[in-house]
């Protein structure tokens, strides 16, 4: 499986963005996060174009920064002209530090502290996605104090179970996120919002889950959301201007993963929404908002590790070989958290047959099996292992466990490499300590 600009160069090495990954490992050390900039930009353009073509109304994409937000990513997102979704004061700060225009930011989170609410209002963020009645009244007060009218969306739970990993399911009735449509709380919150002079209620938001490989859950949620738009119209006379369906489209971690293409997803979702508008009698087409994170950035990321010790264990049923890499849980907690699987290749012999499997583990002081039973072909100590599809929820979820400095991030494009995040130093590890 080769993704984006990945290819094998004439030395048999894996190349990304026209850069030899062995040379990158040599220059910047490992573990190293390598981002394929052209691929990221292309994903943004294709996602946006797909909906611009299919959806007859206005459509907007906000990149979900939680997937991977460093200043460089915020700058690329700004340049590509899409919006940005932040989920904390910290993400907001990163975005603003990168010069991201505040009016193009959506501020998320199920518990925005008073400080975060104040920071968002002071920065002039375009929209707050209000999670609950508590936040609604806090935000109304802060906006009133600041003498502004804050635009908001209301996060609702459509009561859909997305059948993805439980920890990344968010749209079902039993969820900490959003207000329930079924129980009537959502309608009550809409009425409150409409009655608040310091808030401008624009519409409703949901996010149902992540790494969804087909469109069915989105279609089901879309139907419930459109039904709720119609109910709001009937009961309050207000036509929502915006409908935000969240993110969630899946990506290829393994060759057998076949997520819907952006184009097919746009076709399926638009078709279903238009049918639902008609069925529920919604005549004013709302602006369609979406917040993809993973599907824009995951496949554009590759992590390079150096293989150290190899250890063979003779078991009753088979012989197993551990290949230990110089990272692990601290730079990619997803296997441990979600049982996530990945594909990898030996960067120096990128086209060798993957006829031998290894248990790739990290160097933390516990059994951090990164990738059990990973087909790689021949592996020797000193090889560079390139783990694919690590662009989302890896660097953002990295830790300093065992006091490992977090890896550097480089962006590669057209044969040029550019350092976006420096590797942490040992000094960084004690910088905040007294």
Active site residues: 365
Task: Show the binding pattern over residues 359-398: x = contacts ligand LLP (CB under 6 A), - = does not.
Answer: ----------------------------------x-----
Binder of ligand LLP out of 112, 151, 334, 406 (CB under 6 A):
334
Binding-site string for ligand LLP from residue 106 to residue 135, where x marks contact by CB under 6 A and - marks none: --x---------------------------
The total of other beta-carbon atoms located within 10 Å of residue 279's CB is: 12
How far apart are alpha carbons 170 and 381 in whole angstroms? 42
Taking each helix axis as running N to C, give the angle between helix 89-97 and helix 114-123, from 0 to 180 degrees, rounded to the nearest 10.
30
Question: CA quadruple 248, 249, 250, 256: dihedral positive or negative?
Answer: positive
Q: Are 432 and 41 in contact (CB under 8 A)?
A: no
| Nearest distance in Å: CB 327, ligand LLP | 16
How far apart are CB 397 and ligand LLP at their closest, in Å?
A: 6
Q: Does the protein bind ligand LLP through residue 328 (CB under 6 A)?
A: no
Candidate ranges 130-138, 273-281, 290-298, 316-324; the one touching ligand LLP (CB under 6 A): 290-298
CA 80 to chain centre: 17
- Cα(171)–Cα(162) distance, integer angstroms: 7
Cβ closest to ligand LLP, residue 328 vs residue 348: 328
Task: Please report whether residue 63 would count as binding ligand LLP according to CB under 6 A.
Answer: no
Among 48, 66, 349, 363, binds ligand LLP (CB under 6 A): 66
292 lies in the binding site for ligand LLP (CB under 6 A): yes
Residue 296 CB, nearest approach to ligand LLP (Å): 8
Q: Does 67 bind ligand LLP (CB under 6 A)?
A: yes
Cα separation, 406 vs 24, in Å, equals: 17
Distances (CA, A) of 312 to 272, 305, 320: 53, 20, 6
Answer yes or no whether residue 293 interacts with ligand LLP by CB under 6 A.
Answer: yes
Q: How many Cβ atoms are within 10 Å of 258's Cβ, its own excluded?
A: 11
> What contacts 224, CB < 8 A, 6 or more positions away?
158, 159, 160, 181
Region near ligand LLP per CB under 6 A, out of 18-26, 187-195, 287-295, 402-410? 287-295
- End-to-end, the C-alpha distance of the chain in Å comes to 48
Query: What is the residue whose two structure tokens read 């971690």?
Result: 253
Verify binding: residue 203, ligand LLP, rule CB under 6 A.
no
To ligand LLP, the closest distance from the beta carbon of 246 in angstroms equals: 5
Give the nearer residue to ligand LLP in terms of CB position, either 129 or 409: 129
SS3 assignment, position 244: strand
Structure tokens given for 430: 């004690």
* Residues forming the site for ligand LLP (CB under 6 A): 64, 66-67, 85, 108, 168, 170, 207, 210-211, 246-248, 291-295, 334, 338, 393
């Amino acid at each position: 499986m080769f993704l984006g600009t990945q290819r094998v160069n004439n030395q048999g090495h894996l190349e990304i963005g026209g850069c030899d990954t062995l040379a990158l490992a040599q220059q910047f050390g490992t573990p190293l996060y390598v981002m394929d900039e052209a691929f990221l930009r292309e994903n943004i353009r294709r996602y946006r174009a797909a909906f611009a073509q299919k959806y007859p109304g206005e459509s907007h994409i906000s990149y979900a920064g939680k997937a991977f937000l460093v200043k460089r990513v915020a700058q690329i997102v700004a340049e590509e002209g899409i919006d940005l979704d932040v989920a904390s004061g910290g993400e907001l700060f990163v975005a603003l530090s990168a010069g991201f225009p505040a009016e193009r930011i959506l501020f998320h989170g199920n518990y925005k502290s008073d400080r975060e609410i104040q920071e968002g209002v002071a920065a002039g963020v375009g929209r707050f996605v209000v999670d609950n009645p508590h936040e609604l009244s806090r935000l109304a007060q802060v906006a009133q104090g600041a003498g502004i009218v804050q635009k908001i969306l209301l996060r609702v739970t459509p009561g859909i179970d997305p059948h993805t990993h439980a920890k990344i399911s968010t749209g079902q009735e039993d969820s900490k996120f959003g207000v329930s449509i079924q129980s009537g709380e959502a309608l009550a919150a809409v009425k409150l919002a409409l009655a608040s002079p310091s808030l401008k209620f624009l519409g409703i938001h949901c996010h149902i889950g992540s790494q969804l490989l087909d469109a069915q859950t989105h279609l089901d949620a879309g139907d419930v959301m459109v039904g709720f738009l119609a109910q709001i119209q009937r009961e309050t006379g207000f036509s929502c201007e915006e409908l935000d369906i969240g993110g969630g489209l899946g990506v290829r971690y393994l060759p057998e993963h076949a997520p819907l293409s952006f184009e097919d997803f746009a076709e399926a979702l638009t078709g279903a929404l238009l049918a639902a508008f008609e069925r529920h009698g919604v005549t004013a087409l709302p602006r369609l908002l979406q917040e993809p994170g993973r599907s824009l950035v995951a496949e554009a990321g590759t992590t390079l590790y150096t293989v150290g010790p190899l250890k063979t264990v003779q078991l009753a049923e088979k012989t197993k070989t551990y290949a230990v890499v110089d990272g692990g849980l601290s730079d990619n907690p997803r296997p441990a958290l979600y049982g996530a699987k990945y594909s990898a290749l030996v960067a120096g012999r990128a086209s060798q047959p993957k006829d031998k499997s290894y248990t790739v583990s990290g160097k933390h002081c516990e059994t951090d099996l990164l990738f059990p039973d990973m087909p790689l072909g021949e592996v020797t100590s000193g090889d560079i292992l390139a783990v694919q599809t690590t662009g989302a929820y890896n660097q953002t979820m990295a830790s300093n466990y065992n006091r490992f400095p977090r890896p550097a991030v480089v962006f590669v494009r057209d044969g040029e490499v550019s350092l976006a995040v420096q590797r942490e130093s040992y000094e960084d590890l004690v910088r905040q300590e007294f």
